[in-house]
């Protein structure tokens, strides 16, 4: 088999319409805008309405990424999420169906806020192994449904959303190339980020305490571990790519907390201007945060820009990789077009590629590039 690489060929994102500001939370919780902003950097977040699921958001983001890539078919779908539509079955096959992708392989990945990086590794490996020519990778979460609305330590942090990228097979070193994805985990810290009830260890029944049904986090321990693990794995990814801090144009890390982003950047020797920060507008969107940030800031990236991507999440889990930005989607690899053209059309129910609009379409708020003229390094 000839030497291959996995290239980013498309991207897209989606957030719900409903904006929840810190002022809104002040009226519901014992908190203040100053407290939230100072501790997290978050000023507002998006929450999905009850009729919009993780799968719905994933469909929107996936459709946008396919459109950007100029493809209507892929060989595989990988969805990273902690909030699937159902405990069983996985959400990815339904997403693939709604996108009109027929019977392609589709599966979920559960690594909480590191999920997208884990999913990216799975997709890249499939392309390098030759089992796929193109893969849609989606990160989507609806954390507003699993956080305790009365808990100011978690309710103020999380937002809902989805982000996606399309990977295609191409030539190593071409713009869009995703380098080796470095991953790690530490199960001794499993209780640092957890929803205790709802699994086989603690099934939900009438006697289950309400607190055990919600997401909980040991903030101090998580902060310390996140900074340490993110800095370590991002530095390893840079070293594997042979890049110095000066070579790196952007850090796109999991959008958990502005103080974490700042500490990781300092540990890597990167100025704040090279740190992509979406926290103020979207909060922590878990597995969606990295692909959402890539899509939302795509207009700031130039073709060939060197980007380090890193994430840390429950488990605990972490991962990082480097990639070069592909630039204008119109300049994507000719291989992507060839891949699209040689796909056999998928079979669809009732002859419709999307079987009608996805649930929640009327709440769509596709993330679009920021206004023209936004500086590359603000």
Distance CA 283, CA 160 (A): 9
For the annotated catalytic residues, the residue numbers are 113, 254, 284
Q: From the centroid of its chain, how far is CA 77?
A: 14
Instruction: Give the β-pairing of 182-185 and 317-324.
Output: antiparallel
Domains and CATH numbers, the chain: 5-327 (3.40.47.10)
**Do 60 and 298 contact (CB within 8 A), yes or no?**
no
Q: Please, where are the H alpha helices in the chain?
A: 22-28, 33-40, 54-69, 92-98, 115-129, 152-155, 219-241, 258-268, 279-282, 289-296, 334-342
From first to last of its 378 residues, the chain has per-residue pLDDT tens of: 459 999 999 999 999 999 999 999 999 999 999 999 999 999 999 999 999 999 999 999 999 999 999 999 999 999 999 999 999 999 999 999 999 999 999 999 999 999 999 999 999 999 999 999 999 999 999 999 999 999 988 999 999 999 999 999 999 999 999 999 999 999 999 999 988 889 989 999 888 998 889 988 888 999 999 999 999 999 999 999 999 999 999 999 999 999 999 999 999 999 999 999 999 999 999 999 999 999 999 999 999 999 999 999 999 999 999 999 998 765 444 444 433 333 333 322 223 222 333 333 334 444 444 334 445 665
pLDDT at position 217 = 87
Distance CA 350, CA 348 (A): 6
Q: From the centroid of its chain, how far is CA 326?
A: 18
pLDDT at position 373 = 42
Structure tokens of 224? 């310390």
pLDDT at position 365 = 43
Question: For residue 81, with 0-12 CB atoms within 10 Å meaning exposed, 13-18 middle and 19 or more buried, which class applies?
Answer: buried
| Cα angle value 126/127/130 (rounded, 5°) | 90
């Amino acid at each position: 088999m000839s030497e291959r690489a996995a290239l980013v060929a498309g991207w897209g994102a989606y957030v719900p319409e409903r904006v929840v500001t810190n002022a809104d939370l002040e009226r519901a919780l014992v908190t203040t805008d100053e407290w939230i902003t100072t501790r997290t950097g978050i000023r507002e977040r998006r929450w999905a309405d009850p009729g919009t699921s993780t799968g719905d958001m994933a469909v929107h983001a996936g459709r946008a990424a396919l459109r950007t890539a100029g493809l209507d078919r892929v060989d595989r779908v990988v969805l990273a999420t902690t909030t699937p539509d159902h405990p069983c079955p996985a959400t990815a096959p339904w997403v693939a169906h709604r996108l009109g992708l027929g019977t392609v392989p589709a599966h979920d990945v559960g690594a909480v806020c590191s999920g997208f990086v884990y999913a990216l590794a799975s997709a890249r490996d499939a392309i390098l192994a030759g089992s796929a020519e193109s893969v849609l990778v989606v990160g989507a979460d609806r954390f507003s449904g699993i956080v305790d609305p009365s808990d100011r330590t978690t309710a103020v942090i999380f937002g809902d959303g989805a982000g996606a990228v399309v990977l295609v097979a191409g030539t190593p070193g071409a713009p869009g190339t995703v380098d080796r994805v470095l991953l790690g985990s530490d199960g001794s810290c499993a209780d640092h980020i957890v929803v205790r009830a709802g699994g086989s260890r603690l099934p939900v029944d009438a006697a289950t305490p309400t607190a055990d049904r919600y997401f909980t986090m040991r903030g101090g321990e998580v902060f310390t571990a996140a900074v340490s693990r993110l800095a370590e794995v991002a530095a390893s990814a840079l070293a594997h790519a042979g890049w110095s801090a000066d070579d790196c144009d952007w850090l796109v890390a999991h959008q958990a907390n502005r103080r974490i982003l700042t500490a990781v950047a300092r540990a890597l020797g990167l100025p704040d201007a090279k740190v992509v920060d979406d926290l103020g507008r979207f909060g922590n969107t878990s597995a969606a945060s990295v692909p959402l940030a890539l899509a939302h800031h795509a207009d700031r990236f130039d073709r060939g820009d060197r980007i380090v991507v890193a994430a840390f999440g429950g488990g605990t889990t972490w991962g990082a990789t480097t990639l070069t930005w592909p630039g204008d989607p119109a300049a994507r690899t000719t291989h992507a077009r060839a891949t699209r053209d040689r796909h056999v059309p998928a079979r669809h129910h009732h002859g419709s590629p999307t079987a009608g609009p996805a649930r929640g379409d009327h709440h769509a708020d596709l993330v679009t590039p920021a206004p023209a003229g936004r500086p590359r390094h603000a």
